[in-house]
Structure 1
Amino acid sequence: MKKAALQVATVFGAFTFLGVANATEIRTPLVPLPSIDDFTNGDGWGFGLGLAVEYETAYEGSDEYEFEADPAGGVQWRTGENIFFWAGEAVGWRTLVKDSWLFQTSIGYEEGREESDSEDGRLDGLGESDSGVAVLLEARYALTNDWRYFLDGRVSAGEIGTLGIFGAGTCLVCQADGTGWEVGAAVTFHDSKLANRDFGVTTQQYIDSGLPETDVDSGYRSTGVNVSYRNYLGQNWQIFGEALYEAFGSDVSDSPITRNDYEAEIGVGFIYVF
């Protein structure tokens, strides 16, 4: 994993140089952060279409890894300091307030876990976990005028439970057009409904799977670090990437569903901005 991360970082570094050399237009995103995509250039519509490939765990707590390809991009409409967007299975709105507060809300569909997600049969007898609609609320606060340092808080709540994420980040070698590197760290909390959806084993699941019956309490879930990257190749093409490492708390690590006390993923993709 370390070798792969180094190779991707090397490729990203080369593309950073190419992007700076070939860019012919300076775009003006809502906030200059690589983790916040903005396909607009001032007021009006913005469209992005591309593909992302991720190497990630097969399910929460798994030690099985797989490649997955997903569409990337979205449709956005900007007016002043507001962007309305549709990306994947989510629609939402984000706004910039007094140049230092970024608020975002969205509603999307969260897919559940299936027994077939484990090719090694480690989910056999557990059935499918719940899927459902979730509402995301997020706030970021800039500690400096250029958003080089910021605080971040997110809460996702819905039919499958509630997840809270609280952290901080810094933008490294970032440009005004929203390109560069971003590094963040966060702690995550969940309620008992979400905890048991992902890591619990009910009495019926114990009978069907043979795994010990497990009830996971609400509270601390994990601590993680993430790296985001975005850059333009010429005027319209973007390259982006993300790497994530998450260390689980003891309650999650002790679950019979959890095969590792951590999980990690890395992804890279391209988007054509119309």
Structure 2
Amino acid sequence: MKKFSALLLIACMQGFFLPTAVAQEGRAALVPLPSVDDFTRGKDGWALGLGLGIEYETAYEGSDEFGFELDPAGALQWRRGDNIFFWAGEALGWRGLRADTWLFEALIGFDEGREEGDSKKGYLDGLGDNDESFEFVLQVRRAFAADWRYWLIGRVVAGSNGNLGLVGVGRRFGDKLDGSGSEINLVAVFHDSKFANTDFGITAEQSLASGLNETRLSGGFRSLGVNYNYRYIINDNWQIFGEALYEHYSSKVQDSPIARSKYEAEVGIGVIYVF
């Protein structure tokens, strides 16, 4: 799969990177951020972007095992003015721009949970599978100016497996308004006890089955993170995107036997065709 993914990516880049890039000035995205998909080209109505990405990432929260994974990319969108409704894979949501400097986003997504088989080395044996669940996500970004050069970000994730929140700051690089360029975000992440124990807790029953020490975490600070997003618009139809993420866990999280690493990390790249 790794070889196939690499060949597919090379073929896409060779076939579509050669044409001269089409200037996208004047085709303003809802906000000019590479991390916020907008396939509408600044027009009201339906838009569709479909593609494929490849990621190299940790196998599960706290894992020291890494692997490649192919994922679909893109979204079906409907835009009306400063509002976009979208369906992107396992997420259905809305985002809206207000007063040029406020971006709100609300969505319902699906968390696939964790399975014992996610660890090829057997580190999760005896812990059982974490339940799949739906999550509600609310995110707000507040830009310091209408050019979205700098902003503050806040996010809340709520679901049956607990609640998580983050706060941070971001910066955009590049001058185009079409969503191309790059950006970086620095965030602090917090979780409640239920969310913490879903990922890193070990009950008495799980301890007996796995041989790992019983572990109960309290809520509070979870991690510090940084993520980088990149998007290059080749022409009217083709885009290249990339992302890199690093999350460094707090000492309390690191004390869990499940956390075999002090961090989580991933890097990915892919292509999208806009219809």
- TM norm. shorter chain > 0.5: yes
Aligned to 2:179: 178
Partner of 1:122, secondary structure, is coil
Residue pair 2:183, 2:229 contacting (<8 A) in 1 also: yes
Q: Distance in 1 between matches of 2:40 and 2:76?
A: 9
Aligned to 2:119: 118
Q: Offset at 1:25?
A: 4.6
Aligned to 1:23: 22
Aligned to 1:35: 35
1:130-149, Cα deviation, whole Å (9 max, x unpaired)? 22110000000011220000
Q: Distance in 1 between matches of 2:21 and 2:104?
A: 32
Q: Offset at 1:264?
A: 1.0
Partner of 1:135, secondary structure, is strand
What are the residue-to-residue correspondences of 1:143-154 with 2, within 5 Å?
A: 143-154=144-155
Partner of 1:112, secondary structure, is coil
Aligned to 2:101: 100
Q: Offset at 1:22?
A: 1.7
Q: Against the structure 1 CA distance between its residues 270 and 40, is the aligned structure 2 distance closer, same or farther, given a 3 Å change threshold?
A: same
Aligned to 1:53: 54
Aligned to 1:269: 270
Amino acid at match of 1:234: N
In the alignment, structure 1 residue 136 sits paired with structure 2 residue 137:
yes
- Aligned length, in residue pairs: 260
Q: Distance in 2 between matches of 1:205 and 1:174?
A: 53
Aligned to 1:7: none
Aligned to 2:258: 257
Residue pair 2:169, 2:185 contacting (<8 A) in 1 also: yes
Residue pair 1:24, 1:235 contacting (<8 A) in 2 also: no
What are the residue-to-residue correspondences of 1:191-202 with 2, within 5 Å?
A: 191-202=192-203
1:121-163, Cα deviation, whole Å (9 max, x unpaired)? 0000000012211000000001122000000000010111101
Unaligned runs of 5+ in 2: 1-9
Amino acid at match of 2:39: F
What are the residue-to-residue correspondences of 1:46-85 with 2, within 5 Å?
A: 46-85=47-86
Q: Distance in 2 between matches of 1:102 and 1:122?
A: 41
Q: Against the structure 1 CA distance between its residues 145 and 25, is the aligned structure 2 distance closer, same or farther, given a 3 Å change threshold?
A: closer
Partner of 2:153, secondary structure, is strand
Q: Against the structure 1 CA distance between its residues 273 and 23, is the aligned structure 2 distance closer, same or farther, given a 3 Å change threshold?
A: same
1:36-62, Cα deviation, whole Å (9 max, x unpaired)? 010112211110000010000000000
Residue pair 1:32, 1:176 contacting (<8 A) in 2 also: yes
Aligned to 1:4: none
Please give the TM-score of this superposition, normalised by the length of structure 2.
0.91
Q: Distance in 2 between matches of 1:19 and 1:110?
A: 38
Amino acid at match of 2:150: Y
Q: Percent identity?
A: 57
Residue pair 1:103, 1:138 contacting (<8 A) in 2 also: yes
Partner of 1:176, secondary structure, is coil
Residue pair 2:39, 2:274 contacting (<8 A) in 1 also: yes
Aligned to 1:156: 157
Q: Distance in 2 between matches of 1:186 and 1:224?
A: 5
Residue pair 1:19, 1:231 contacting (<8 A) in 2 also: no
Q: Offset at 1:20?
A: 10
Amino acid at match of 2:196: A
Q: Distance in 2 between matches of 1:69 and 1:21?
A: 28
Residue pair 1:20, 1:232 contacting (<8 A) in 2 also: no
Amino acid at match of 2:36: I
Q: Distance in 1 between matches of 2:24 and 2:148?
A: 21
Residue pair 1:76, 1:85 contacting (<8 A) in 2 also: yes
Unaligned runs of 5+ in 1: 1-10
Amino acid at match of 1:30: L
Please give the TM-score of this superposition, normalised by the length of structure 1.
0.92
Q: Distance in 2 between matches of 1:175 and 1:261?
A: 37
Partner of 1:74, secondary structure, is strand
